[in-house]
A and B are shown apart, each in its own frame.
Chain A
Amino acid sequence: MSALPQDRPPHQAPAETPPETPGDAAEAYSRRTMIRADLALIVEMVEPGTRVLDVGCGTGELLECLVIDRGCVGRGIELSQAGVNDSVRRGLSVVQGDADTDLNDYPSDAFDYVILSQTLQATRAPGEVVANLVRIGRRAIVSFPNFGHWRVRLDLLLQGRMPKSEALPEAWYETPNIHLCTIRDFLNLADELGVTVERSLALDQQGTDKGIAGLRRANLFGQHGLFLLSGG
């Protein structure tokens, strides 16, 4: 299994586009479609048959895809017990744990890839987490919502309020996101940590790679950043 079958990318966004009018249903819909396409790109980054640790694996959707379709040896960590139980019920190897504290347990170079999808912004110490990712894995794959997107900037500038968007749907007082950053911020962090950025993608809300060239444009027009990292 060297590539995903063309007729059934497991996490491809459905053909129909989300309704234009905002609202709870539309919001949930777009979040769901974003995540699925985002995950498809991650799956493509992972070499088949490798050892993968998915940090913040939710209910195990991505991990299951990697195990079954890519023949990977998969492990997961998930904060929510409900997510863990769902994952184990799927036959996946997942432990309840916290990226901030439990990554320290893992030995160095134990995995080929360590994945942190849409979780970095909710960790207490993102720098330590990223350092742990490239320590535990030969490569790390990180994705997060880009706080430098033009709509976010415009919201803050014009309304003077904490931005809410499709990528950041919760109000400031209920969001789990305590360390939001921009694509530029993240690249600076990687630089400070001495982490090599092998690939960087700026994605739209549907999780599609728009092929945005240049950091300035990516940081302005990308709604999500997706990075393939390696240590040193």
Chain B
Amino acid sequence: MTDTTSVSESAPDRATPSRQELAGQTVELGRARPLMLDCGVELGPFTMAYRTYGELNADKSNAILVCHALTGDQHVVDPPHTERSGWWELMVGSGRPLDTDRYFVICANVLGGCMGTEGPKEINPDTGEPWGLDFPVITIADMVRAQTLLLDHLGIDKLFCVIGGSMGAMQVLQFATAYPERTFAAVPIAGAGRHSAQNIAFHEVGRQAIMADPDWCDGDYLRQGTKPRRGLAVARMAAHVTYLSEAALHRKFGRRLQDRKSVTYGFDADFQVESYLRHQGSSFVDRFDANSYLYITRAMDYFDLAADHGGVLARAFEDTPVRYCVVSFTSDWLFPTSENREVVHALNAAAADVSFVEVDTDKGHDAFLLDEPEFFSVLNGFLEGCAHLAGLVGERRSNGQSAGGRVE
């Protein structure tokens, strides 16, 4: 059979990389004072894995915190042990919008993740066994609290910018509203002030797929020496559809058949789109932990910034000094423009400094990870303006015309 991408025929099982195999840095946090989680549990000490790119300047004013999405990781650029490129190589690097010649870019694996930061697949120091479902349920606010401990560790009082897409945008909003004095600018991309009912519903489908897999073993699969491959793959397949758009799926696959002349009157992956999804599912299983998927999707579901401020989103932004740039994509139906616009309206109601850009694309939610020249050029302009206002670069140029008395 030529279809090598079905779930059952995927690559041999291997664990996600251990901490020792990971490039970048890990740090133990919360030893002096444990992290107080929203669920009431105290966590600490705990490990956080992170990567940095570029150089921190002398007054530590050029740091950008990148917040990764649900299945992202700290390896924004140049991930270890893989041929794949980093998830935001288009955004971060020399001459890129997050220019590593100018900025010190930090990205940490989120709390509850599975790429080195404390999460359900790591060892619970109390038992010497993997945490599994004993790991406390975490929230977006917990993830952000953990990140501020990392910034403390790095000696960075104030970021130049905090930026991220999707769940990363939730962290950006949480960071900028909980710690407005700790960042100059905030760029939530393809996000929302709360997780919608539809999105919670999709997450629940994914979680049920994982938990319905007998190999999940009530979350104890690591000790049982197995892995809920099928459940996690189905969760990923369903989620992946929500990251695309009808137009993008049609453009990429249409109704084209997978390596065959006609349909087979069976349940093989006749269509290219099926084969593609199966591949997405199976390759995801190799790099992601199923329990992490449960915890992180739960954290997103619980996110509701307005609820934390008396039900009025604008109160989250009252008197904020942070300069915001909200970005959405026209074909994103997971975090649609309307949800991003609600954040903008709340920022307006607080008379906050805000820009709002909707990028015209048919690539759906995933557009924030892809090559979108309009997105990059607008973000460049925003960051450039911020860099001037924050005093990171010289006097700002007037566009097109030279200002009186200044010669260019």
Contacts and interface: CB of A to CB of B under 8 A. Distances in A.
Contacts of B344: 95, 97
B385 A90 contact: yes
Dominant SS among interface residues on chain A: mixed
A124 to B, nearest CB: 19
A110 interface: yes
Contact of B357 (A7, A84, A90): A84
A88 B325 contact: yes
A85 B380 CA distance: 11
Interface stretch (B78-86, B289-297, B397-405): B397-405
Interface in B368-408: 374, 377-378, 380-382, 384-386, 388, 396, 398-399, 401, 403-405
Given A88-B325, A92-B355, A96-B356, A64 B399 contact: yes
Contacts of A85: 357, 359, 374, 377-378
Contact of A92 (B350, B359, B385): B385
B351 A107 contact: yes
A81 B355 contact: no
Contacts of A94: 355-356
A170 interface: no
Interface string B356-370: 111110000000000
A111 B351 CA distance: 9
Contacts of A102: 345, 348
A91 B401 contact: no
B349 interface: yes
A102 to B, nearest CB: 7
Contact of A91 (B326, B377, B382): B382
Interface in A77-94: 81, 84-85, 87-94
Contacts of A10: 398, 401, 403-404
Dominant SS among interface residues on chain B: mixed
Interface residues on A, range: 20 to 34
A88 B382 contact: yes
A91 B388 CA distance: 9
Nearest to B381: A89
A75 interface: yes
A105 B357 contact: no
B404 A7 contact: yes
B354 interface: yes
A87 B399 CA distance: 11
Contacts, number: 88
Given A69-B403, A85-B378, A88-B357, A95 B348 contact: yes
Interface string B308-326: 0000000000000001011
A4 B325 CA distance: 30
A161 interface: no
B353 interface: yes
A94 to B, nearest CB: 6
A52 B344 CA distance: 18
A96 B343 CA distance: 13
Contact of B403 (A68, A88, A110): A68
Contacts of A69: 398, 403-404
A105 B384 CA distance: 28
Contacts of A84: 355-358
A106 interface: yes
Contact of A88 (B381, B396, B404, B405): B381
Contacts of A110: 351
Contacts of A88: 325, 355, 357, 378, 381-382
15 contacts: A8-B401, A68-B396, A68-B398, A69-B404, A73-B353, A87-B355, A89-B378, A91-B386, A92-B355, A95-B348, A95-B356, A97-B348, A102-B345, A105-B345, A105-B348
